[in-house]
Amino acid sequence: MVYLLCGLLGGAILAAICTPLFRKETSLESAIIEETQWDLLQRKKEIILGNIQDLEFEYKCGKLSQQDYQKIRAEMNTEAAQIFQEVETLESSADLDALIRREISARKSRSNAKQISCPSCGSKNPNTNKFCADCGAKLKA
């Protein structure tokens, strides 16, 4: 009976510890997905702007008739405007979220830059660590 109680108590404690961990992971995952959607729009924007540049270049080189150029250019303008609109909607509908996302990615790149590799096992450690978290080797001479 005592063992059973201990088991139950242990299980309850374990669940209490693990539940917030899992919850954290889910919200992190959704943040990553959101970031990807925003990034996807940014990439689309880059592509369409690049395409417009290419089109103008080809037109200037005489590879396209004015009629073709104007037709394709109008299509690209519509597409670009659509993407700009989508980016704006995404950013204004979740101003705070966008701000947090930008802050997080800035922080991520900052912390990545501050990582050092362990001379013994090669695993990455924060710059503030004196010893490797994996093998315990001294990180700084």
> What residues make contact with Zn ion under the rule CB under 5 A?
118, 120-121, 132, 134-135, 137
* CB nearer Zn ion, residue 63 or residue 124: 124
| Helix, strand or coil, per DSSP, at residue 124 | strand
Rounded to a whole number of angstroms, the minimum distance from the CB of residue 123 to Zn ion is 5
What span, in angstroms and rounded, lies between the C-alpha atoms of 132 and 115?
A: 11
Cβ closest to Zn ion, residue 54 vs residue 134: 134
- Smallest distance from Zn ion to CB 119, Å: 8
- Tokens read off for 30: 């959704």
- Minimum CB distance to Zn ion smaller for 10 or for 119: 119
Contact (Cβ atoms closer than 8 angstroms) between residue 131 and residue 141: no
DSSP string for residues in 90-120: HHHHTHHHHHHHHHHHHHHHHHHHTEEE-TT
Nearest-approach distance from CB 32 to Zn ion, in angstroms: 27
* Shortest distance, position 125 Cβ to Zn ion, whole Å: 7
Q: What is the C-alpha to C-alpha distance for residues 87 and 89, in angstroms, rounded to an integer? A: 5
- 63 versus 114: smaller Cβ distance to Zn ion: 114
